[in-house]
Structure 1
Amino acid sequence: MEKLQREVRFLKVYSLILTTVLIAFFFMAFRTDFGKQRFQEIDVERINVVEKDGTLKMVIANSERQHPGLVEGKPLAPRKRQAGLIFFNSAGDECGGLIYDADKKDGAGMVYSVDQYRNDQIMQLQYAQDLEGDKARSYGLKIWDRPDDFTSARLTHVIDSLKALKDEKRYEEVTNQLASEGKFGTERLFVGRTWKNEVGLFIRDQKGKVRIKIYVDKQNQTKIETYDDQGKLISK
């Protein structure tokens, strides 16, 4: 009888301990605030950085799982993107990022972009190199002008509408017209090395035409050139 009582007491204690452990695991499983954690090493394909309300602020991902981008809170259609970091603002737009890659087909490159509000990039620190042929490369700082009245959302709507028509001629006509009006953005300045191995300052006008070049060419000769609005050389 005493042996049976001891066994019953043991089972009661065991049951109490097991129940306590299970309850602890249950609450730990649903706990969201674990505080600061430290890892010596971690392998991950994608990390989403979000605010407490779930607003997406940054994505760090490989090429396969990279975010396609956001425009006014709506994800863009899936597309191939390089690995890197993509930044998002509280208004629901992609607002810049850092991407990089290298392979024989597409070459090597790295780009850090800063986007205009509700629009595409207006500044880039970029590097690109051909890994075949003459191994040409270019790198430097580039800036653009972009209109406030032709946002990324509007551009996406126009392009999607044109593609739905399945009329290549009409698509080309409209996109060429928009490009001539600067709706896709206009390059204004580049400081760095060009694909022609010219190193210097290159300034364009509001229509994207080169107006001033101050550079050293590949023969190590100093050049200062100005052009008119038709692209004709004025002074040298």
Structure 2
Amino acid sequence: MAELEDALTAARSAYAAATRALALAEAAADAAEVSVAPMVVDELTVKRINVVEDDGSLRIVIGNSTHGKTMPLRGELIEHPGRHPSAGILFVNDEGTECGGLQFAGTRGTDAAQQTGYLAFDDFEQNESFRLGLYQEGGASQKFLEFADQPAWSIADLVAETDGQDEEGRRQVHDRYFGDADGRGRSRMRLARENDGSVRLVLRDAHGRDRLRFIVPADGDAVVEVVDHEGTSHSIL
């Protein structure tokens, strides 16, 4: 890990030096009234594009599905523990941690065609708190807009504590983070076209419990349901 950090520091220093040299060259060209036309490239074929700050710190990643499996975390790139391979764009906050993205994937598959695509915004060092997406498998498909509350703990801290642990050690750490009542994310609102063909708007309380449902089935009458604290549904339409 220390060697990787040293390499990243050296790379950023080299990039900063090159940027300063380029700026000096451009200033010299301006002083000499020499016009330097920008280079125009008709086509680029790349696996990954990194957009960085003046000091070389990463801010945006445009990459293929291989790079889509990684995530920036406090200035380092680590393998994402739960992301399926997908190409797209990752956005990085001021401290070098992923804060959102745009991802797409699709295949005919062996049993049925599959297609996914979503835009997501993350809470600080946490998972997605806003998602706009699509998931299709064969004839079943979902299109959804969802808001969620995420816990206060940091994914970076979780990764640091599980680093180097065996399977049992990782399980204990995960249980400690996710086992608490406030340790998991909770969906608060979901507007979706669901797999059964219905369209639903579901509003949930701070505990993630359904409290109000607006349902338009694929066939049949629309339904409005109010759900009490005990989970009992009362239809008002």
Equivalent residues in 2 for 1:168-187 (5 A)? Answer: 174=176, 177-178=179-180, 181-187=181-187
Whether 1:87 and 2:94 are equivalent positions in the alignment is: no
TM-score normalised to structure 2 length: 0.73
Indicate how the Cα distance of structure 1 residues 72 and 166 shifts in structure 2: closer, same or farther if over 3 A, else same: same
Q: What is the Cα deviation at residue 201 of structure 1?
A: 1.2
Q: What is the Cα deviation at residue 139 of structure 1?
A: 0.7
TM-score normalised to structure 1 length: 0.73
Q: Which moved more, 1:62-71 or 1:49-58?
A: 62-71
Q: Tell me what 2:134 maps to.
A: 127
Indicate how the Cα distance of structure 1 residues 222 and 185 shifts in structure 2: closer, same or farther if over 3 A, else same: same
Q: How many pairs were matched up? A: 200
Equivalent residues in 2 for 1:1-236 (5 A)? Answer: 32=22, 36-66=38-68, 68-77=70-79, 81-103=85-107, 104=109, 107-131=114-138, 135-148=139-152, 150-157=153-160, 160=162, 164-166=166-168, 174=176, 177-178=179-180, 181-236=181-236
- Give the distance between the partners of 2:86 and 2:196, measured in 1 at CA: 26
Max Rg structure: 1
- Give the distance between the partners of 1:73 and 1:172, measured in 2 at CA: 23
Identity %: 25
Aligned AA for 1:129? Q
Indicate how the Cα distance of structure 1 residues 37 and 84 shifts in structure 2: closer, same or farther if over 3 A, else same: same
Over aligned residues, Cα RMSD in angstroms?
2.9
Structure 2, unaligned runs of 5 or more: 1-20, 24-35
- Give the distance between the partners of 2:220 and 2:164, measured in 1 at CA: 47
Structure 1, unaligned runs of 5 or more: 1-30
